[in-house]
Amino acid sequence: MTAEDNPIPSNFIQTIIQNDLDSGKHTTVHTRFPPEPNGYLHIGHAKSICLNFGMARRFNGKCNLRFDDTNPDKEEVEYMHAIEADVKWLGYEWDELHFASDYFNHLYMYAVKLITTGKAYVDSLSAEEIREYRGTLKAPGKDSPYRNRSVEENLGLFQRMKEGEFDDGAHVLRAKINMAAPNMNMRDPTLYRIKRTHHHRTGAEWVIYPMYDFTHCLSDSIEGITHSLCTLEFEDHRALYDWVLDEAGAPCHPQQIEFARLELEYTITSKRKLHQLIDEGHVSGWDDPRMTTISGIRRRGYTPASIRDFCERIGVTKKDSSIEMAALENCVREDLNEHALRVMGVLHPLKVTIENYPDDQSEEMQAQNHPQNPALGTRSITFTKTLYIERDDFMEDAPKKFFRLSVGREVRLRYAYYITCTEVVKNEQGEVIELICSYDPETRGGSSPDGRKVKGTIHWVSAEHAVDAQVNAYDRLFTHPNPGSTDNYIEHLNPDSLIVLKNCKLEPALANADANTSYQFERTGYFVLDKDSCSDALIFNRTVTLRDTWGKIGGRSD
Ligand code: ATP
Ligand code: MG
């Protein structure tokens, strides 16, 4: 297993593991990350991945990747491959790769053992009757009339279920525990059901499939897992986890420990709901950069280190809480601030003509790739008579404190000259379409020999040399902080979550941008090449703005 650094600081789970090692209960640690291959992983899964792999790493133990593939209706090979790729991208390598479906024979034998010891029975009530007999939180359930079938009869029926003699739903195998148990999960839970569904690994071999609560604990035990970390909703299932292991005589007894799910404001972390967003066309797919799937945020330009850092900072607790989106953004912003190459890109171009600059002249200016890290070197950028600057960097009736361009005001062009706006050109609608400026040849490189200071420095590109690009700017996908809690989260989709800027002008080197390299467009934000980009139609995704804009209503949308 590899990860650049250990992502998880001390937490209550680490304390439990440390105590188990100190007391000699365990001599080594073995965890697992057990996704169901029924969709792509999301940011919530990243928390579980960092925790499971991080604990194993911290204690020099092992972590398995196990596909919990016992529900063939919704599972697909595509999802398995995507999950493997996402785990690796996050920086982790599993010690063993397993599939719960590899244990189908084992699990069947454990079920037979439970029947033999009188701890499981075949029930022939309908699904609806089973629900009725189950009782409620306030009222105990009642025993099924089939509960006292003999061991022989149960063994015979269970074998015939396996051999495909019965229709789907005709019988189920249930644990024989207690129909009056206060914990509803202990009221004779179903262990197996008949289901004629093709399984992506075992094909048509099985027509009975084990239930999650039966499969999960036994899979953990078969693999020698020491600490089975799961989210809080499984707390009420722990009694059953322990019951199955004890009654089935499993090889070892892993300890289930629950922690709080990660919920992120303004997003959804449920595969079912993410499926719906895709199926209904609200997003372009699992890797839409607005999705908080791992593949979505990767395409958006998030780095693995920033996600690990985020998981470290949010910590591991037993209390559910919703994390602000700004917390995730700050992690990527910090990482990119340190590593991203600086370039100049104009998102809303406004033409500038330097009237006193010779028509056919051009100059190479030296620009730093990362002013705080000179080791990243310099590059040359071409200065010419006609440039583009950001439309926002000009204002016609500018207030006193506006330190950018306006008629009669002087600014510094980054790495180039001081320029002063002398005149504006407007179209018939009265919109400013061009600025006429003059430059001071004495200010080459950005300072004036007479000590004259200007307050504003703006970015620019040479009109002749710039490359055209489309830039996709993203805002939050939902307008509601907790869309998953509302009656209809689709209603809370943000209609302006994607803003496409078609006529951006970028430094020419970006024509050869590397898909795995993040760039800071100076003064604008962090960007990465999109996977749909090609040499004659460049597309960049804005990963994040330079500063936190979540505090402002509606965020920044340019
Ligand atoms: P979903 O509800 O999105 O389908 P799930 O819990 O059913 O999620 P699994 O594939 O079963 O998804 O999850 C694999 C592991 O990831 C489990 O151990 C689960 O507890 C953990 N996990 C899933 N969602 C989160 C989350 N939001 N925060 C932390 N861990 C999570
Ligand atoms: Mg699940």
Looking at ligand 1, which atom is closest to the CA of residue 48?
30
Please indicate, yes or no, whether residues 501 and 413 belong to a single structural domain of this protein. Answer: no
3-state secondary structure of 434: strand
In a domain, 59, yes or no: yes
Cβ(173)–Cβ(192) below 8 Å: yes
Looking at the fold, whether 27 and 79 belong to one and the same domain comes out as yes
pLDDT mean over 11-36: 97
Domain boundary residue, one of 211, 243, 259: 211
**Distance (Å, rounded) from C-alpha 344 to C-alpha 501?**
16
Q: Who lines ligand 1 at CB under 6 A?
A: 34-36, 44-45, 47-48, 230-231, 261-262, 269-271
Which residue type is seen at 61?
Answer: G
Out of 40, 67, 231, 318, mutate this one to test ligand 1's pocket (max ligand atoms within 8 Å of CB): namely 231
pLDDT by residue (tens digit) across 270-286? 999 999 999 999 999 99
- Of all protein residues, whose CA lies closest to atom 15 belonging to ligand 1? 35
Q: Of the residues 8, 13, 41, 45, which should be mutated to test ligand 1's pocket, given the most ligand atoms within 8 Å of the CB?
A: 45
Per-residue pLDDT of 353-365, as tens digits, reads 999 999 999 999 9
Is 150 inside a domain boundary?
yes
Residue 500 in this model has a pLDDT that exceeds 80: yes
Question: For residue 395, what are the CA distances in angstroms to 220, 235, 426?
Answer: 65, 60, 13
Using alpha carbons only, how large is the chain's radius of gyration in Å? 31
Q: Encoding tokens for residue 495?
A: 């209609």
Which helix (H) or strand (E) is 462 found in, with range?
Answer: strand 460-462
Residues 29 and 88 placed together within one structural domain of the fold: yes
> Is 536 domain-assigned?
yes
Task: Tell me the per-residue pLDDT of 421-463, one tens digit each, with 9 for 90 and over.
Answer: 999 999 999 999 999 999 999 999 999 999 999 999 999 999 9
196 shares its domain with 97: no
Which residue has the least CA distance to atom 25 on ligand 1? 44
Q: Look-up: residue for tokens 């194993």?
A: 56
156, 132, 150: which is closest to 142 by C-alpha? 132
What pLDDT shows up at residue 550? 57
Query: Which residue range(s) make up the domain with 174?
Result: 115-211
Task: Please report which helix (H) or strand (E) contains residue 214, including its range.
Answer: helix 212-222
Q: How many domains does the chain have?
A: 4
Query: Half-sphere exposure of residue 235, counting CA atoms within 13 Å on the CB side?
Result: 9
The verdict on residue 528 lying in a domain is yes
Q: What is the mean pLDDT of residues 395-401?
A: 94
Task: State whether 323 and 337 are in the same domain.
Answer: no
| CATH code: domain of residue 62 | 3.40.50.620
- Domain contains 549: yes
CB atoms within 10 A of CB 138: 5
CA of 53 to the centre of ligand 1 (A): 15
Element (H, E) at 368: strand 363-368
Strand blocks (E) in 26-145: 30-33, 62-67, 96-99, 120-123
492 lies in some domain: yes
Active site residues: 36, 261, 271
- Whole-number Å distance between alpha carbons of 199 and 68: 12
In the chain, the amino acid numbered 240 is L
Question: Which residue in the block uniquely carries the two structure tokens 């209706």?
Answer: 73
**What pLDDT does residue 549 have?**
66
Q: What is the pLDDT of residues 28-40, one digit of tens each?
A: 999 999 999 999 9
Chain centroid to Cα 55, Å, comes to: 20
User: Other C-beta atoms within 10 Å of 474: how many?
Assistant: 22
Decide if 3 is inside a domain: no
Q: d(Cα 221, Cα 100) in Å, to the nearest integer? A: 12
Q: What is the pLDDT of residues 462-493, one digit of tens each?
A: 999 999 999 999 999 999 999 999 989 999 99
Q: Is position 85 within any domain?
A: yes
Strand pairing class (467-474; 498-506): antiparallel
% residues pLDDT > 90 (the chain): 93
278 shares its domain with 423:
no
Final residue belonging to a domain, choices 457, 477, 503: 457
- pLDDT grade, residue 1 (50/70/90)? very low
Q: Tell me, yes or no, whether 282 and 162 share the same domain.
A: no
Which of 469, 459, 504 has the alpha carbon at shortest distance from 365? 459
- State the SS3 of 487-518: CCHHHHECCCCEEEEEEEEECHHHHHCCCCCE
DSSP class of residue 431 equals -
Q: How many CB atoms lie within 10 A of CB 548?
A: 17
pLDDT at 333 over 50: yes
**Judgement on whether residues 291 and 356 belong to the same structural domain of the protein:** no
Check whether residue 360 and residue 450 sit in a common domain.
yes
**Mean per-residue pLDDT over the chain, rounded:** 95
pLDDT one-digit tens code per residue, 227-254: 999 999 999 999 999 999 999 999 999 9
- Among protein residues, the one whose CA lies closest to atom 23 of ligand 1: 45
For position 420, which CATH number holds? 2.40.240.10
Do 259 and 406 lie in one domain? The reply is no
φ/ψ of residue 235, rounded to 5? -55, -45
Tell me which residue of 407, 404, 401, 408 sits closest to 391, measured CA to CA. Answer: 404
Dump pLDDT digits (tens) for 86-104: 999 999 999 999 999 999 9
Tell me the mean pLDDT in the region 384-408.
96
CA distance 67 to 101: 8
Do 400 and 421 fall into the same domain? yes
Co-location of 177 and 50 in the same domain:
no
pLDDT grade for 10, boundaries at 50, 70 and 90: confident
b/e map 19-39, b = 16+ CB within 10 Å: ebbeeeebeebbbbbbbbbbb
Where a domain ends, among 457, 484, 517?
457
Give distance in angstroms: CA of 433 to centre of ligand 1: 52
Can you tell me which atom of ligand 1 is nearest the CA of 261?
A: 28
C-alpha 235 to ligand 2 mean position (Å): 14
Ligand 2 centre to CA of 341 (Å) is 40
The SS3 assignment for 298 reads helix
CATH of residue 152: 3.90.800.10
Q: Kindly report, residue by residue over 546-555, the tens digit of the pLDDT.
A: 987 655 443 3
The Å distance, Cα 170 to ligand 1 centre, comes to 31
